Amino acid sequence: MIKIIAVDDEPAFGEILSIYMKEFGNFQITFYTSPEDAIDKIVAGEADAVITDYLMEEMDGISFIRKVKSLVPDIPFVLLTALDDKDVILNATNAGADFIQFKSEEPSRLFPDIAQKITHSVEKYRARRESEKGSRTREMLMRAQRDLMARLSESSTTNQALDATLTTVRFLAGCNSGAIHLMNRKTNKIELAISHNLPNDLIRRFTFGDLYQVIYTKKAMYFQDPTMPDNSRYCSGGQIPIMAGTDVIGVLSFILDHPKTLSLELTDTMELITGHLGNTLVRIRSEELVRQRENELSELYKVMQELVMVIDMDGTILNVNPAATRILRYSEEELIGMPIQVLYPPKIRDEIIFQFMDLTGSGGTIQNTYPLLDRQGIEVPVETRGSIGTWGDRHVLFCISREIRERLEAERNLHEYYERISAILASSTAQIYMKNNELRYLTGNEPFLSFVHCNARELMGKTDNDFFSKEVAALREKTDKKVLLENIPLYNLEEEVYGEDGNPQWFVSSKIPVHDLTGKVTGLVGTSLDITDLVQTRQELERRDRILSAVSTVAQTLVRHNEWEPIIPECLELLGQAAGVEQVILLGMNFYGRAGF
């Protein structure tokens, strides 16, 4: 239908126009005798075209055209006039009249021409207006997209990005309610992140309803209004997946205040800006992770006990950590800008410069134990490691120096301890050795090495089976295992060993378990003292005691008997047993034989 407003101060013409025009098209004609009344309706958008008379008392048709065209420039105008005047035609054309019709023509020709011209003009007018509307819509969509992109690029938190995107989608869709749910990376569940004017029942619906279908299909869903027919394109809302690459990281939901159609251009734009949100969330999460890592590294940088210095390629100190200022007793301001070689003793500064030049030229790393000088010129023993890296936009040398004063002191103490132990081992006449928990020899002192006839290097990894008989090795292994398994020391163990000449040797040994820092038994230390002379002396004394005891017994026997001859063999045997002399025993036995016993 084409809506026409006709203006003429003669009401009869309006009636005629309405009657004839309806025969030539689908027209709705509204007639006004006052141009001013008609202007209000035209501006309000109630007309697709205007037909006006030229000669009117209130305002002539050309002035009327000019006034309307200043407000609605593109609306089609038909000027009706009874005057075939060139000036009128020229002025009407200049004022914006699209067509000029003369009233003198026959109605059968006048009204079809008007209907045809209006129909053609209105079609062009509507097409132009629709095109302009589309252009305005596209411009609006592009502007909204550009504005959102600017806001997203400035967003530093997830909430800022979510709020900006949801606000833009609500503006484009023309609604008040919406929400965004995001996937929880820890639980892998969808959770509400932000909502605008969303009732609780809808929160529950979007949480447990269509969200998972959107996540599964990775496609947007637009909900048809249930009050409309099945083939209706009216929507009540929609849900759009938020993508990060090929993964769905969330869902944006919106609810229309009133059902309406959503153009393809509009839905494409909403899906596009929701995609921008996905990229922004990935960027924000990455930046948050970087900031977190930077904060962690900064805290580590501050609490490190080692001295950290960042040195420019020309040797200038660019940055230091608190440990450097504390240990060197300089302020941070004093150290920054100082040449690095100033912190070393004068005698090694040239070496430091050459080492630094070599590193900056060839790359790689450096490591040295050159001492640093503190503010009072006192040497600080350190171990320094350095490598080339990037600080901001420049190549620098990162140096980490660890104070080794305690380590040097510990090394000195340990050296002195080893010296004392070595002196003790060297000065001891006892055999001293050490075994691991597999009963393999680790070391031994000189008396032990001489006893087993090998040097210290040959001793490493050997066992008792390599030096002793099976019986002796088994006996030593038995006592060793008792020490290791029961974690107890054994003292004063007498051990008999036969030398290469077949003569026995006796030793008194002690075995003590050795532990690591956790208390675990890792081996044992054994000592053996040669007591062969002592044992032989003890055996000789025991033999003499037996002889004296036998002599005393023989004397008492002879005193108690008057007849000695019968008991002499017994006495001789007793003396022989006590002395361990077989000849005496044999003499007694021969005496028995001659006497006829």
DSSP SS3 for 440? coil
pLDDT of residue 280: 92
Residues 6+ apart with CB under 8 A from 484: 437, 439, 513, 521, 523, 524
Distance CA 316, CA 339 (A): 5
What is the pLDDT of the chain when averaged over all its residues?
Answer: 82
The alpha carbons of the chain give a radius of gyration, in whole angstroms, of 58
Q: Tell me the whole-structure pTM to 2 decimals.
A: 0.45
More confidently predicted of 310 and 356:
310
Q: Is the pLDDT of residue 595 over 60?
A: no
What integer pLDDT is reported at residue 555 of this predicted model?
A: 73
Q: Of 55, 46, 45, nearest to 7 (Cα)?
A: 55
Asked whether the predicted pLDDT for residue 578 surpasses 70, the reply is no
pLDDT tops 60 at residue 41: yes
Q: Residue 423 pLDDT > 90, yes or no?
A: no
pLDDT in tens, 5-28: 888 888 877 777 777 777 777 788
What pLDDT score does 375 carry? 92
Instruction: Answer yes or no: is pLDDT of 200 > 50.
Output: yes
Query: Do 195 and 203 touch, CB atoms closer than 8 A?
Result: yes
Task: Answer with the residue of higher pLDDT: 587 or 276.
Answer: 276
- Res 432 pLDDT > 80: yes
Q: What is the DSSP letter of 254?
A: E
Write phi, then psi, for 26 (nearest 5 degrees). Answer: -85, 80
> What is the percent of the chain with per-residue pLDDT over 90, rounded to a whole number?
20
Q: Which of 23-37, 71-85, 199-213, 318-332 has the lowest mean pLDDT?
A: 199-213
Instruction: Please state at what angle helix 532-560 crosses helix 568-579, rounded to 10 degrees.
Output: 170
**pLDDT for res 252:** 92
The structural architecture, per CATH, of the domain 2-132 is 3-Layer(aba) Sandwich (3.40)
Q: Decide: 411 and 396 in contact? Cβ < 8 Å.
A: no
CATH 3.30.450.40 domain locations along the chain: 155-289
| Distance, C-alpha 408 to centroid of its chain | 38
Q: Which helix (H) or strand (E) holds 231?
A: none
What does the pLDDT read at residue 161? 93
- What is the structure's pLDDT at 231? 53
Query: Is residue 558 within 8 Å of residue 567, measured between CB atoms?
Result: yes
Q: Please state, as a whole number, how many other Cβ atoms lie within 10 Å of the Cβ of residue 341.
A: 15
State the maximum Cα–Cα separation within the chain, in Å, rounded to a whole number.
Answer: 200
**Most confident stretch, 50-54, 410-414, 508-512:** 508-512
Higher pLDDT among residues 588 and 272, named by residue: 272
Which residue has better confidence, 35 or 300?
A: 35
Collapse the DSSP code of 415 into the 3-class scheme (helix H, G, I; strand E, B; otherwise coil) and give the result. Answer: helix
Distance CA 212, CA 206 (A): 9
> For position 137, what pLDDT does the model report?
67
Share of the chain above pLDDT 70, in %: 87
Cross-sheet strand order for the sheet of 190-196: 190-196, 177-183, 247-261, 234-244, 221-224
Tell me what pLDDT residue 345 has: 92
Q: pLDDT of 553-562, one tens digit each?
A: 767 776 676 6
Block residue for tokens 């002395």: 579
**Long-range CB contact pairs, 492-496, < 8 A, 24+:** 494/531, 495/528, 496/472
CB hemisphere CA count around 21 (13 angstroms): 25
At residue 587, the pLDDT reads 46
Question: Which pLDDT score, from 0 to 100, does residue 597 have?
Answer: 44
Architecture of domain 155-289: 2-Layer Sandwich (3.30)
Q: What is the pLDDT of residue 534?
A: 78
CB atoms within 10 A of CB 353: 15
Domain with CATH 3.30.450.20 in the chain: 305-407, 428-530
Kindly tell me if the per-residue pLDDT of 567 is higher than 60: yes
pLDDT at 110 over 60: yes
pLDDT digits 0-9 by tens, 485-536 = 999 999 988 877 776 666 777 888 899 999 988 889 999 999 888 877 777 7
Residues 220-259 have pLDDT tens digits of: 988 876 666 555 567 888 899 999 888 899 999 998 888 8
Confidence (pLDDT) at 228: 62
Distance CA 197, CA 217 (A): 27
CA 240/CA 253 separation, integer angstroms: 6
In CATH terms, is domain 428-530 a member of 3.30.450.20?
Answer: yes
**pLDDT value of position 145:** 83
pLDDT digit string, tens, across residues 284-300: 988 888 888 878 777 87
Q: Report which residue type is found at 242.
A: I
The closest of 116, 99, 143, 152 to 23, measured between CA atoms, is 116
The rounded distance, in Å, linking the Cα atoms of 268 and 245 is 18
pLDDT digits (tens, 9 = 90+) for 371-385: 999 999 999 999 999
Kindly report the CATH number that applies to the domain delimited by 305-407. Answer: 3.30.450.20
